[in-house]
């Protein structure tokens, strides 16, 4: 004879976790009823619901989302594809996106591509194999336009693709930076930024050329560009520019690593910022604030806005189904944050034209 207790012990699933079947058995109802009760289906008597919930709690039942996703065809995943999650900019964007995506019930799969189109392709395949409900990507060119997943681009975009996107005001931002230097009286302004192989590289570079032209300055080979987005490459470029005969009096950095490299080059040349050389940057390498001396005049960081906007846009795109594949574009406005590296003393004046 089997002891009474043994009858109570549920026969767990083969993987050791209790299944719906075990909950149903423990509650003395059918599997269908157990399923409905747990998902608050209205057509379940309150008493039954309670019985089932109690059993589920007692067994520590946690529904298998792989199984329910398979059955309902509702994915619980969304992918985010970035060059590298340890780059602070992307880390912050991903975090902001993750917060809204998780609130919507999705689990986020973050994939790093290391700025490599092949790895991006691979990441997208992996996401497809997990039947991600949608994907956010900051592209390096590796996505396949025939991909059958709702997709939104952020930061780095494939211009040709028919997909919604949310981007920074790259050109406009660089223009604000250049104009500010011009207001300070600078005429020989150099640019060090990312290579135009990706949106953030190309739009900022274009923006620099346009702004220089608009200011009526001569644009004489003072733009340097790097594939690696490294401080080292920027340091080399800035050192070279500083050593030229007609050396620049001011630098525009096309991103935080570039600003850092420029700072190092200027220090190595025993020059001072802003006294000898002015510096403004698209992004601030000193994200926590207060480390870098002097603090940099930059654009306002918009990682959170970028991430949450892109996430909401993706959610929207997923809901739409494949019906409306309009290529909505959200462009976040650029705002200048004046600090000291440009030559301003924010404590005294906010408008550099007052100087």
Q: What, of DNA, its own copies, none, does residue 48 touch, CB below 5 to 8 Å by kind?
A: DNA
Minimal distance in Å, beta carbon 54 to DNA?
14
Minimal distance in Å, beta carbon 263 to its own copies?
7
Nearer to its own copies by Cβ, of 82 and 177: the residue is 82
Minimal distance in Å, beta carbon 75 to its own copies?
8
Minimal distance in Å, beta carbon 121 to its own copies?
12
Q: What, of its own copies, DNA, none, does residue 42 touch, CB below 5 to 8 Å by kind?
A: DNA
Sequence-separated (6 or more) residues with CB below 8 Å from residue 23: 10, 34, 38, 52, 55, 56, 59, 61
Which residues sit at the interface with its own copies, rule CB under 8 A? 14-17, 60, 62-67, 69-70, 73, 76, 84-86, 88, 91-92, 94-95, 98, 107-110, 112, 125-126, 128-131, 146, 148, 231, 257, 260, 263-264, 285-286, 288, 290-293, 322
Nearer to DNA by Cβ, of 6 and 43: the residue is 43
Separation CA 71–CA 30 (nearest Å): 18
Which residues sit at the interface with DNA, rule CB under 7 A? 13-15, 17, 19-21, 29-33, 35-36, 38-39, 42-45, 47-48, 61, 63-64, 67-68, 70-73
CB atoms within 10 A of CB 293: 11
Q: What, of DNA, its own copies, none, does residue 21 touch, CB below 5 to 8 Å by kind?
A: DNA
Separation CA 38–CA 31 (nearest Å): 11
Bridge partners for 250 per DSSP: 189, 278
Sequence-separated (6 or more) residues with CB below 8 Å from residue 269: 239, 242
CA distances from 45 to 20, 29, 34, 40, 62 (A): 18, 12, 11, 10, 22
Minimal distance in Å, beta carbon 315 to DNA?
19
Nearer to its own copies by Cβ, of 161 and 259: the residue is 259
Place of tokens 């002097």: 294
Place of tokens 């050791």: 16
Residue 279 · residue 263 · CB < 8 Å: yes
Q: What, of its own copies, DNA, none, does residue 285 touch, CB below 5 to 8 Å by kind?
A: its own copies
Q: What, of DNA, its own copies, none, does residue 6 touch, CB below 5 to 8 Å by kind?
A: none
Minimal distance in Å, beta carbon 345 to its own copies?
17
Minimal distance in Å, beta carbon 73 to DNA?
6
Locate all alpha helices (DSSP H) within 9-152, ordered by sequence: 20-27, 31-38, 46-59, 65-72, 88-103, 117-129
Q: Are strands 77-82 and 107-112 parallel, antiparallel or unpaired?
A: parallel
Nearer to its own copies by Cβ, of 108 and 223: the residue is 108
Separation CA 237–CA 253 (nearest Å): 11
Q: What, of its own copies, DNA, none, does residue 325 touch, CB below 5 to 8 Å by kind?
A: none
Separation CA 123–CA 79 (nearest Å): 9
């Amino acid at each position: 004879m089997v002891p009474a207790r043994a009858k109570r012990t549920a026969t767990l699933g083969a993987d050791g976790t209790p299944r719906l079947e075990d909950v149903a058995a423990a509650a003395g109802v059918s599997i269908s009823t157990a399923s409905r009760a747990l998902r608050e289906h209205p057509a379940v008597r309150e008493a039954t619901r309670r019985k089932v919930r109690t059993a589920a709690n007692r067994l520590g039942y946690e529904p298998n989302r792989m199984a329910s996703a398979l059955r309902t065809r509702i994915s619980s995943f969304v992918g985010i594809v970035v060059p590298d999650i340890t780059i602070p900019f992307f880390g912050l964007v991903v975090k902001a996106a993750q917060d809204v995506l998780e609130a919507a019930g999705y689990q986020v799969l973050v994939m790093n591509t290391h700025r490599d189109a092949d790895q991006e392709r691979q990441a997208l395949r992996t996401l497809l194999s997990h039947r991600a409900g949608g994907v956010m990507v900051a592209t390096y060119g590796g996505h396949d336009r025939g991909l059958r997943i709702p997709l939104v681009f952020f930061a780095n975009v494939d211009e040709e693709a028919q997909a919604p996107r949310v981007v920074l005001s790259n050109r406009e931002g660089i223009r604000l930076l250049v104009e500010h230097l011009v207001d300070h009286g600078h005429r020989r302004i150099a640019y060090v930024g990312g290579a135009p192989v990706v949106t953030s590289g190309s739009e900022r570079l274009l923006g620099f050329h346009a702004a220089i032209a608009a200011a009526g300055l001569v644009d004489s080979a003072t733009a340097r560009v790097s594939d690696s987005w490294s401080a080292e490459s920027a340091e080399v470029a800035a050192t070279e520019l500083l050593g030229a005969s007609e050396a620049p009096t001011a630098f525009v950095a096309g991103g935080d690593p570039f600003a850092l490299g420029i700072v190092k080059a200027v220090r190595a040349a025993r020059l001072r910022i802003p006294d000898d050389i002015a510096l403004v940057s698209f992004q601030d390498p000193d994200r926590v604030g207060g480390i870098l001396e002097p603090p940099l005049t930059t654009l306002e960081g918009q990682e959170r806005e970028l991430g949450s906007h892109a996430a909401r846009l993706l959610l929207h795109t997923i809901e739409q189904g494949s019906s409306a594949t309009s290529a909505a574009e959200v462009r976040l406005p650029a705002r200048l944050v004046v600090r000291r590296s440009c030559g301003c003393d924010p404590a005294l004046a906010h408008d550099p034209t007052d100087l």
